[in-house]
Structure 1
């Protein structure tokens, strides 16, 4: 069994957060909507690494009950990650990946928008402040992990689903394919 040291767990948390914030492209957008980088959705004072402070993690072995409890605490902290209230009602444009929630045939009506490929499907969900819950007025042909631009009015709306907890929702969304150089 491997020992999990405090520096290793901190590095893992930093790596996961960096991966979460990895898709932060910010090309120009229409005047009515502001292209938003994923890190702009995270309050500046939120530090999920604080969960590890003051713990002697060097004694925790992989698969140990203490490791499982720490992972449950980390998941709870991420599922309840704080949002930025000043962004409520802001018109935004954000790139991300589709995680379908409500599908009929090939038509998606509801999905999670996540910042990196594989989130919620091939890897644990990112923090709630890095997931947008998108409900379309009219279903659209989308596939799991399609790269898209979404535009609309950002709302503070915490929503739990089987695939992850979202801290934000998007009203009147417009969804377009993400292409290299697209705006």
Structure 2
């Protein structure tokens, strides 16, 4: 590791746990290696247009865009991936939080995320790398996603027109097929069948 790289990593407090040496790896090989070893950043990569060689797992140069480091690092955190439902809007929400769940839901309802204030926590799974798993599950359900700009809240990107059963089966299959360790799993409602909403595909997201 050269001095410039070492100083950059130290400045942004990027630890050995987060980084990998990419020497000898193609970008395609590197993406798979970083994923398998749960690394967020790599040094000794191919150079970006400005000659930097430190990249994120997605291939972006973090020297050119250091503001993204905090967001990327958030995916390492332990937290709860959850399924929530709104009866009034017939919506399902797939989200993630590192704060106590009751605090999270109080905020969701006070902010009227998705124009709803009756969000109820249905299920949660506590795990490491919760943010990463949240995004993956949301992507699996993307064809049911509502149009975010219509609701004026970025969190509406986490809201879907589908049933709890569809969301839950997708979540369970994802964790099982990827053999993701679960710290704790809870179903918070005794009657989640109330959230048997219609599965409505958004043609723009197919």
Q: TM-score range by the shorter chain?
A: under 0.3
Q: Which has the larger radius of gyration?
A: 2
The answer to which structure, 1 or 2, has the higher relative contact order (CA under 8 A, 6+ apart) is: 1
Q: What is the TM-score when the length of structure 2 is the normalising length?
A: 0.23
Q: What is the TM-score when the length of structure 1 is the normalising length?
A: 0.25
